[in-house]
Amino acid sequence: MSKKVHVFNAGPCLLPQEAIDSAIAALKDFKGTGISVLSVSHRTKEWEETMDECRALWKELLNIPDTHEVVFLGGGASLQFLYVAMNFLEKKAAYLDTGVWAHKALQQAQGIGEAYAIACSADKNYTYIPKGYEIPKDIDYLHITTNNTIYGTEIKEDYDCPVPLIADMSSDIMSRPVDVSKYDLIYGGAQKNVGPAGVVFAIIRKDALGKVSRYIPTMLDYRTHIDKGSMFNTPPVFAIYIMTETLRWLKSIGGIPAIQKRNQEKAALLYGEIDRNSMFVGTAAKEDRSLMNVCFVMAPGKEDLQDEFMAFAKAQGMVGIKGHRSVGGFRASLYNACTLEDVQALVDCMKEFEKLHC
């Protein structure tokens, strides 16, 4: 019997077992066609039904209004940084610089036109979310990154914004309710909460498009993918299939309200232990702590025990808790499919380690 492992990888994410089991079956026979989902044509009736179901689940789970459309794309969220500027930047845009990915999004926009950081938390190694800045009304949009996986900070509310609001929600989408009507665009990679690597979601306010004067290459124009139902070119079929099964699972357990409650319980348990345990200390400002990515380090004076704890945790079945190379320490990603049992196992491991060094 294999050892029980508890997966806290920052991405690709832990997927629900139900989605994995469905994928295994579909690899052998997709919807009774006798063809593997890896070989099925995206132009078949069976695949079109899956694509329609996936889009419908997104709209149902997030209560997406009719003003918006959902598309599925390739290229990762990093390519969306360019999509955003190509489709929305006419005169100038502002970016909230809260981490590596937010900064990279800004850099891509600066290659297209005038874009600047309206506020930045780099002065404290991105350990907080800037507040109190003024949003000018003459910008084309404000871009935010709602969850910062490397630094463990999160924007947990939907801003009331006087200009079009665009959000990269790669790592916290479907973890909490979102008022989609407040955004002109929400986008992200699926591989944190809603599926495997290889597919990107984009939720777009349809009447916000077509307002820039520049030429937009066909593949970088959101209207192309809306008009063709995300099938202008061959979509990432297998990744979308697993996304559909993941959203089915999410709906079956009670949808967004249920998963939000679970996520709050998981984060409270782990942050509670970090704050109690004499061996560890959290790195993010408490008011901005992410529910998805919990970042912590050894307590002052205990730094030389970092490698020992990493080895100890690995022996206890903890997978993926090493912090990002740019910040060090530890990071436990508590995405939707991570269970309270997994978090309790990590907490117990931390307690045992503390007892060894009391």
3-state secondary structure labels for all residues of the chain: CCCCCEECCCCCCCCCHHHHHHHHHHHHCCCCCCCCCCCCCCCCHHHHHHHHHHHHHHHHHCCCCCCEEEEEECCHHHHHHHHHHHHHCCCEEEEEECCHHHHHHHHHHHCCCEEEEEEECHHHCCCCCCCCCCCCCCCCCEEEECEECCCCEECCCCCCCCCCEEEECCCCCCCCCCCHHHCCEEEEECCCCCCCCCCEEEEEEHHHCCCCCCCCCHHHCHHHHHHCCCCCCCCCHHHHHHHHHHHHHHHHCCHHHHHHHHHHHHHHHHHHHHHHCCCEEECCCHHHECCCEEEEEECCCCHHHHHHHHHHHHHCCEECCECCCCCCCEEEECCCCCCHHHHHHHHHHHHHHHHHCC
Determine if the peptide bond prior to 196 is cis (ω within 30°): no
List the catalytic residue out of 192, 249, 288, 322.
Answer: 192
Contact (CB, 8 A) for 95 and 145 = no
Contact (CB, 8 A) for 77 and 206 = no
Give yes or no: 58 in active site.
no
Closest by Cα among 343, 355, 278, 354 to 7: 343
List the catalytic residue out of 47, 101, 288, 322.
Answer: 101
Give yes or no: 192 in active site.
yes
List the catalytic residue out of 58, 97, 140, 168.
Answer: 168
The structure tokens listed for 29 are 């026979």
Give yes or no: 168 in active site.
yes
Q: Which residues participate in catalysis according to the annotation?
A: 101, 168, 192
